[in-house]
Amino acid sequence: MAKTKVLLSGNEAIAQGAIQAGCTFYAGYPITPQNELIAYMAKYLPASGAVKGQAARVFIQAESELAAINMVYGASAAGARAMTSSSSPGISLKQEGISYLAGSQLPAVIVNIMRGGPGLGNIAPAQSDYFQATRGGGHGDYHVIVLAPASAQEAYDLTQSGFDLADKYRTPVMILGDGVLGQMMEPVKLSSRKIKTPPVKSWALCGCAGRKPNIAKSFFLREGALEEFNLKLQKNYQIIQQKEQRFEGLFLSDAKVILVAYGTMARIAKSAISQLRNAGKQVGLIRPISLWPFPERAFQIKNNRVKYLVLELSYGQMLQDVRLAVNGRQQVEFLGRSGGGILSQEQIIDKVKKIL
């Protein structure tokens, strides 16, 4: 498939990105709107090219999201690049496992194609799992790196970065998208490079021939041991916060109003911006790509008269991170919908005109 462009849904692009990244283990459980992802993995993962140093590429339809995330725990502990995917209710079930991955410093990629909540909610696109994703999600003092693609191409690319970051920092990484991203078909330029060879992991469980036993665990019973470990995690998180902030900025040099939006919401924001710009309005965009670490750097804008307008398919979740980043220097406004309704260009334009 060298250098070809193919038409893929966001879900399929994530799956193909994982295959390209050398993922050799996938376990998942069906849930809308991410079913294309598990189906793609079932069809293509076992048959994809071999990965150096790995026995085979394994697909398992697990009996539940709990089983899937814990299979990923085992596969990751065994040294494989491992992934699972789901949508909101299923991600809630995985949270205990994600906490165990973080506590055991095991890399893994977890995909959440968000749907409406709380509860069974609906299957419409949503961004309402932002808090859950960026605050750790499960129990304990931890974070996962959260990457939010806004197109199928970016989903393909970020999934690959996700595996690299997971291995580099020994942490779970979440790819956070919504139902529109997951299901919309778009052309994706596939990598012409060979399938990646994952790094050798000296800590992996593979039999203790010629070395002391390796143990995968998150349990620290000795007095002071957990605090020591948590401080080590915090150090890792500080490095991640320094080095891995990602965002896209548009028209930031002259903007009087800066829209802040991620994923699908950012694409609608872009359309609104081009209309507003055509009408001579100085509007810009900050699109966070890493949601954790939140790209605070993007908000170091000197002009105190700049106003931010945070746009979400949720009720003021990312808003809190923007307020923290802006730290009272400038005015922060909010516009959001949640529960299936998608903010339209017109709604955005109306709001911008009121603020300007």
Token pair for residue 310?
């945070």
What burial class does residue 212 get, using C-beta atoms within 10 Å of its C-beta: 0-12 exposed, 13-18 middle, 19+ buried? Answer: exposed
Find out whether 87 and 115 touch, Cβ atoms under 8 Å.
yes
**Choices 28-36, 129-137, 187-195, 202-210 (CB under 8 A): range interacting with other proteins:** 202-210
Cis peptide before 172, with omega less than 30 degrees from 0?
no
Q: Tell me: does residue 50 bind other proteins (CB under 8 A).
A: no
Q: Tell me: does residue 11 bind other proteins (CB under 8 A).
A: no
* Residue corresponding to tokens 């802006």: 326
Q: Tell me: does residue 214 bind other proteins (CB under 8 A).
A: yes
DSSP string, 219-273: ---STTHHHHHHHHHHHHHHHHHHH---EEEESTTT-SEEEE--HHHHHHHHHHH
Residue 27 beta carbon to other proteins: minimum distance, rounded to whole angstroms: 7
What burial class does residue 305 get, using C-beta atoms within 10 Å of its C-beta: 0-12 exposed, 13-18 middle, 19+ buried? Answer: exposed
For other proteins, the closer CB: 195 or 342:
195
Indicate which single residue of 20, 34, 54, 161 sits in contact with other proteins (rule: CB under 8 A).
Answer: 54
Which whole-number Å values give the CA distances from 310 to 148, 319, 328, in the listed order? 16, 6, 15
Q: Tell me: does residue 74 bind other proteins (CB under 8 A).
A: yes
Indicate which single residue of 34, 70, 132, 153 sits in contact with other proteins (rule: CB under 8 A).
Answer: 70
Task: Please name the residues in contact with 258: beta carbons below 8 A apart, sequence gap of 6 or more.
Answer: 252, 283, 284, 285, 286, 301, 306, 307, 308, 309
Which whole-number Å values give the CA distances from 295 to 135, 172, 230, 265, in the listed order? 15, 19, 23, 17
Indicate which single residue of 86, 92, 104, 290 sits in contact with other proteins (rule: CB under 8 A).
Answer: 104
Q: Tell me: does residue 141 bind other proteins (CB under 8 A).
A: no
For other proteins, the closer CB: 55 or 252:
55
For other proteins, the closer CB: 210 or 224:
210
Residue 103 beta carbon to other proteins: minimum distance, rounded to whole angstroms: 9
For other proteins, the closer CB: 230 or 241:
230
Indicate which single residue of 37, 38, 41, 75 sits in contact with other proteins (rule: CB under 8 A).
Answer: 75
For other proteins, the closer CB: 77 or 349:
77
Q: Tell me: does residue 208 bind other proteins (CB under 8 A).
A: yes
Q: Tell me: does residue 100 bind other proteins (CB under 8 A).
A: yes
| Count of residues interacting with other proteins (CB under 8 A) | 44
Helix (H, G, I), strand (E, B) or coil at 17: helix
For other proteins, the closer CB: 184 or 216:
216
Nearest to 179 by CA among 121, 259, 256: 121
Angle subtended at Cα 58 by Cα 56 and Cα 61, rounded to the nearest 5 degrees? 170
Indicate which single residue of 8, 14, 19, 80 sits in contact with other proteins (rule: CB under 8 A).
Answer: 80
Nearest to 218 by CA among 307, 133, 309, 97: 97
Q: Tell me: does residue 185 bind other proteins (CB under 8 A).
A: no
**Choices 73-81, 115-123, 231-239, 278-286 (CB under 8 A): range interacting with other proteins:** 73-81
The rounded distance, in Å, linking the Cα atoms of 326 and 301 is 9
Q: Tell me: does residue 64 bind other proteins (CB under 8 A).
A: yes
Q: Tell me: does residue 77 bind other proteins (CB under 8 A).
A: yes
Which spans of this chain sit near other proteins (rule: CB under 8 A)? 24-25, 27, 54-56, 58, 60, 62-64, 66-68, 70-80, 82, 96-97, 100, 104, 205-210, 213-219, 221
